[in-house]
Amino acid sequence: MRKILLITGASAGIGAATARKAARAGYDIALNYHSNIDGAKAVMAEAQSAGARVILCPGDVADPEAIADIFARIDKEFGRLDALVNNAGVVDTVASVTDFTHARLRRMFDINVIGAMLIAKEAVVRMQKQGPEQGQRGAIVNTSSIAARLGSGHTFVDYAASKAAIDTFTKGLSDEVAPDGIRVNAVRPGIIETDIHAKAGAPERVEQITPSIPLRRSGHADEVADAILYLLSDQASYITGTTLDVSGGR
């Protein structure tokens, strides 16, 4: 039986790479995106051609009503949820803490933290109700960042702090739901070649940071997707509450 996987932020970058690989690995997919419908449709077509059933679940994860709509659609179309990749996230323009505004912080934490927590909550509520498959009721992977331990001074401390919240949430939630047979882990990407850097107005960051990466190169979205799919899989059946750095040693 194909497992049902919700991926947030799957219209581009790491989420899109995860959707493509998940389809080939045997998942059916609820594919969330916010504004990039063309990207979402292209990913959907590729996943379908790999044999997956795919439903599009548009919605801003910062909006609780949109989250309710996403899960209503999953309930109606699939009737269960086996896995979640809690991946939607944003950075902002490079700035020091002295330049931060309330509006900037609100957006950052509404999307990266509160949205991710509410999505995980809705997933867990469903996983707890369904019967276990081979002893496992569900698996969740949150997308954090190595910024959580670097702090990102003078670039985006707010983003780093939002990802530190995700690390702590990952550990705390995993403790709460492990007895139910639900595993919760996080990946912490380093510098990965996606559009997120250009969206932050700093496409040059990838090149600038590369010399400080022990492996001397940036990462690819597919390499993060491989780590995510491993943590979701039965090969990771004894792993929960942990964060896995996918950062070339940085």
User: Is 36 an interacting residue with respect to ligand NAP (CB under 6 A)?
Assistant: yes
User: Is 194 an interacting residue with respect to ligand NAP (CB under 6 A)?
Assistant: yes
Q: Which is nearer to ligand NAP, 11 or 155 (CB)?
A: 11
User: What are the φ/ψ torsions at residue 138 (nearest 5 degrees)?
Assistant: -175, 165
Residue count, binding to ligand NAP (CB under 6 A): 30
Q: Which of residues 87-146 bind ligand NAP (CB under 6 A)?
A: 87-90, 111, 143, 145
User: Is 231 an interacting residue with respect to ligand NAP (CB under 6 A)?
Assistant: no
CA neighbor of 169 nearest in space, from 129, 140, 137: 140
Q: Which of 18, 23, 173, 189 binds ligand NAP (CB under 6 A)?
A: 189
The span from the CA of 48 to the CA of 50, in Å, is 5
User: Is 30 an interacting residue with respect to ligand NAP (CB under 6 A)?
Assistant: no
The letter for the amino acid at 208 is: Q
Indicate if 159 belongs to the active site: yes
Q: Which of 27, 33, 159, 238 is catalytic?
A: 159
Q: Which helix (H) or strand (E) holds 206?
A: helix 205-209
Q: How many CB atoms lie within 10 A of CB 41?
A: 15
First to last CA, the chain: 39
Binding track, positions 139-178, relative to ligand NAP; x by CB under 6 A:
----x-x---------------------------------
Cβ atoms of 191 and 184 within 8 Å: the answer is: no
User: Is 192 an interacting residue with respect to ligand NAP (CB under 6 A)?
Assistant: yes
User: Which residues does residue 188 pair with via DSSP β-bridges, in sequence order?
Assistant: 245
DSSP secondary structure string for all residues of 82-124? -EEEE----------GGG--HHHHHHHHIIIIIIHHHHHHHHH
* 150 contacts: CB under 8 Å, gap ≥ 6: 160
Alpha carbons within 13 angstroms on the beta-carbon side of residue 226 total: 7
User: Is 43 an interacting residue with respect to ligand NAP (CB under 6 A)?
Assistant: no
User: Is 248 an interacting residue with respect to ligand NAP (CB under 6 A)?
Assistant: no
Q: Which of residues 49-78 bind ligand NAP (CB under 6 A)?
A: 60-62
Window contacting ligand NAP (CB under 6 A); options: 2-10, 70-78, 173-181, 233-241: 2-10
Cβ atoms of 15 and 85 within 8 Å: the answer is: yes
User: Is 210 an interacting residue with respect to ligand NAP (CB under 6 A)?
Assistant: no
Q: Which of 3, 13, 85, 177 binds ligand NAP (CB under 6 A)?
A: 13
Q: Which helix (H) or strand (E) holds 5?
A: strand 3-7
**Residues found near ligand NAP in the complex (CB under 6 A):** 8-15, 32-36, 60-62, 87-90, 111, 143, 145, 189, 191-192, 194-196, 199
- Catalytically active residues, by annotation: 159
